[in-house]
Amino acid sequence: DAKTTQPPSMDCAEGRAANLPCNHSTISGNEYVYWYRQIHSQGPQYIIHGLKNNETNEMASLIITEDRKSSTLILPHATLRDTAVYYCIVTGSNSGYALNFGKGTSLLVTP
């Protein structure tokens, strides 16, 4: 699996957009970019995934650069409940889509 690099922590004001970056320069052609988050000690929550096109769902948007070496998760209007650790993970069929959780980014949304 390709390794990912994320900042260890970020702050965001409530109501503002939270932009979480991720570098994955060794991503291979058949690997997807996934984002999950873990709120406190709950089970991780799937957010979004993409291959090369930008993606949007009810939770977030995922922007993947053209060379696929980095991506950004965007939470358009962060709320206090979005405070969590966010994980950017690259995986594909070669590894059965098993998820390699790194340290992630601890996002703190402040009032």
Partner 1 sequence: NAGVMQNPRHLVRRRGQEARLRCSPVKGHSHVYWYRQLPEEGLKFMVYLQKENIIDESGMPKERFSAEFPKEGPSILRIQQVVRGDSAAYFCASSPQVEQYFGPGTRLTVT
In whole angstroms, the minimum distance from the beta carbon of 90 to partner 1 comes to 12
Strands (DSSP E) found in the chain:
9-13, 18-23, 31-38, 45-50, 55-56, 61-64, 70-75, 84-92, 105-110
86 part of the interface to partner 1, by CB under 8 A: no
Return the residue of 8, 41, 81, 111 that touches partner 1, per CB under 8 A: 41
Part of the chain binding partner 1 (CB under 8 A), chosen from 2-10, 16-24, 41-49, 60-68: 41-49
Q: Give whichever of 9 and 95 is closer to partner 1, judged by the CB atom.
A: 95
Non-local CB neighbours of 44 within 8 Å, separated by 6+ positions:
36, 37, 38, 87, 101
28 part of the interface to partner 1, by CB under 8 A: no
Query: Residue count at the site for partner 1 (CB under 8 A)?
Result: 20
Q: Which residues pair with 13 in a beta bridge?
A: 110
Place of tokens 């998760």: 73
Return the residue of 45, 54, 56, 65 that touches partner 1, per CB under 8 A: 45
How distant, in Å, are the alpha carbons of 47, 73, 110 from that of 89? 11, 12, 26
User: Which residues would be at the binding site for partner 1 (CB under 8 A)?
Assistant: 32, 34, 38, 41-46, 49, 95-104
